[in-house]
Structure 1
Amino acid sequence: MTKGAFSDLAVPGALLTCRVTPKASRNAVERDGEGLRVYVTTVPEGGKANVAVVKLLSKALGVPKSALVLVRGETSRDKVFRVG
């Protein structure tokens, strides 16, 4: 995955639906129908996986980490982020 590979989704105010897989064998972001699949190697303890997802998504979208806001799904595998 190259930096900004999904920059077409980085529209301010857009809502991104993501299905997260923690404890995966690799870090990756893939398109999956209408949303994204995000694979992170970190464990889902104390919000560590959410931090890893934001870091990975920001790189894939080509936006700063502060531009992504978790709207829904803090403790769920299905998350919704708003691009700021």
Structure 2
Amino acid sequence: MVPWRSSTTGVNIALRVTPRGGRDGVDGIEQLADGRSVLKVRVRAIADGGEANRAVLALLAKSLGVPKASVSLLSGATSRLKQIAVEGDPARLAEALRRLAPTESTDLGN
């Protein structure tokens, strides 16, 4: 199960963010204890004054090849679990997300 859903204007992504993670990057998909899937993201920024949130939005914009203005925080401003909206072509964004975080069924280790 993938942690994103297509919408008419783009995709919504469920994230689990690790601030002060040593580097900026996407670490794949994780299944939470309640069965939900999330995209694991880490950023160097600290979780103070919205710094980590801004770093997450910038990282996703760069990774998905969209302008920063196309990425917005829907919920979870003070939580590690967040919902992000990305505006753009839903099919292209979903393909970019699959490349960033292959699911086990598509990642054959080759």
TM-score by length of 1: 0.80
1:16 aligns with 2:13: yes
Q: What is the CA RMSD across the aligned residues, in angstroms?
A: 1.9
Residues 3-39 of structure 1: per-residue CA shift (max 9 Å, x gap): xxxxxx8873311011000011111113214431110
> For the structure 1 residues 83 and 58, does the alpha-carbon distance in structure 2 shift closer, same or farther, using more than 3 Å as the test?
same
Further displaced range: 25-34 or 36-45: 25-34
Structure 2 counterpart of 1:29, one-letter code: V
Count of matched residue positions in the alignment of Structure 1 and Structure 2: 76
Aligned equivalent of 1:83:
86
Deviations along 1:22-67, whole A, 9 cap, x unmatched?
A: 0111111132144311100111000000010011011111111110
**CA separation of 1:59/1:10 partners in 2, compared to 1, >3 Å: closer, same or farther?**
farther
Output the amino acid matched with 2:45: T
Tell me the TM-score normalized by structure 2: 0.62
Q: 1:28 aligns with which of 25, 29, 40?
A: 25
Amino-acid identity (%): 41
- Distance verdict in 2 for CA 1:10–1:67, change over 3 Å: farther
Give the counterpart letter for 1:32 in structure 2: I
Contact kept in structure 2, 1:10 and 1:63, CA below 8 Å: no
Is contact 1:67-1:83 (8 Å) kept? yes
Which runs of 5 or more residues in structure 2 are unaligned? 31-36, 88-110
CA contact 2:25–2:43 (8 Å) conserved in 1: yes
CA contact (8 A) 2:6 2:12 kept: no
3-state SS in 1 of match to 2:49: coil
Any gaps of 5 or more consecutive residues in structure 1? 1-8
